[in-house]
């Protein structure tokens, strides 16, 4: 996948801005509620292999990885190289995190994941990128945990999830107006 296929124009513009680091941190305080919700659903599973799409500066992932209540075997972040560079090398090493650049998402095609996580990212990606996920990545994931919004995205995502997964739940998520929590499993 080419870099321009993976990132919408909005994201290509954003990642060029020098202030990007600051803007990626805004959601830190909201990650507590997100983590609680995630733990409620997945803490009884063991040796979890997690893929996070668009994890930003790694706040959500780091919270999970540092939480003794959850048993994680591998945590893979897929994001833009510039964004991934905000997660310190030490954190990546200490937590044994793997990273992949989003435009090289094909590298994950053969991987199987227990949970795919994505928070406020998918609705902002390109159709080409999402089609790639629907066809090649999501069918290899046992569970999905997504928080996102956007009218058109909601319609599309609901249809695709029901095609890929057996159990799909779409719940209100009041963090920001119009957000939904998508839970799916096979």
**170 Cβ contact list (under 8 Å, min separation 6):** 158, 180, 181, 182, 183
Which lies closer to ligand SAM via its Cβ, residue 85 or residue 162? 85
The correct pick among 48, 102, 108, 141 for binding ligand SAM (CB under 6 A) is 102
Which lies closer to ligand SAM via its Cβ, residue 4 or residue 167? 4
Which lies closer to ligand SAM via its Cβ, residue 55 or residue 165? 55
Which lies closer to ligand SAM via its Cβ, residue 33 or residue 167? 33
Binding mask 34-73 for ligand SAM (x = CB under 6 A): -------------------xxxx-----------------
Q: What is the DSSP string of 115-128?
A: EEEEES-GGGS-HH
Q: How many residues does the chain have?
A: 186
Total chain residues near ligand SAM (CB under 6 A): 20
Residue 174 to residue 153: CA distance in whole angstroms: 17
Q: How is residue 135 written in tokens?
A: 């066809």
Do 130 and 105 contact (CB within 8 A), yes or no? no
The correct pick among 113, 129, 132, 173 for binding ligand SAM (CB under 6 A) is 129
Q: How is residue 86 written in tokens?
A: 């905000």
Do 104 and 129 contact (CB within 8 A), yes or no? no
Candidates 36-44, 121-129, 149-157, 166-174 — which segment interacts with ligand SAM by CB under 6 A?
A: 121-129
Residue 120 is a binding residue for ligand SAM (CB under 6 A):
yes
Q: How is residue 152 written in tokens?
A: 């058109």
Contacts of ligand SAM in 135-154 (CB under 6 A) = none
Which lies closer to ligand SAM via its Cβ, residue 36 or residue 46? 36
How far from each other are the two terminal CA atoms of the chain, in whole angstroms? 27
Residue 60 to residue 52: CA distance in whole angstroms: 9
Residue 123 is a binding residue for ligand SAM (CB under 6 A):
no
List residues binding ligand SAM (CB under 6 A): 6-7, 11, 24, 27, 53-56, 78-80, 83, 102, 119-121, 124-125, 129
């Amino acid at each position: 996948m080419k870099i321009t296929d993976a990132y919408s124009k909005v994201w290509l513009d954003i990642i060029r801005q020098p202030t990007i680091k600051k803007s990626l941190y805004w959601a830190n305080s909201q990650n507590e509620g997100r983590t609680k919700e995630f733990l409620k659903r997945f803490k009884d599973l063991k040796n979890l292999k997690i893929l996070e799409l668009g994890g930003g500066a790694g706040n959500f992932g780091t919270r999970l990885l540092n939480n003794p209540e959850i048993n994680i075997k591998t945590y893979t972040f897929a994001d833009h190289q510039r964004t991934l560079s905000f997660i310190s090398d030490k954190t990546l090493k200490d937590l044994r995190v793997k990273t992949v650049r989003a435009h090289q998402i094909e590298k994950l095609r053969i991987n199987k994941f227990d949970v795919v996580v994505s928070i406020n990212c998918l609705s902002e990606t390109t159709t080409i990128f999402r089609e790639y996920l629907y066809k090649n990545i999501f069918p290899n994931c046992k569970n999905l945990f997504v928080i996102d919004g956007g009218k058109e995205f909601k319609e599309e995502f609901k249809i695709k999830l029901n095609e890929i997964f057996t159990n799909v739940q779409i719940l209100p998520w009041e963090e920001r107006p119009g957000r939904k929590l998508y839970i799916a499993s096979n």
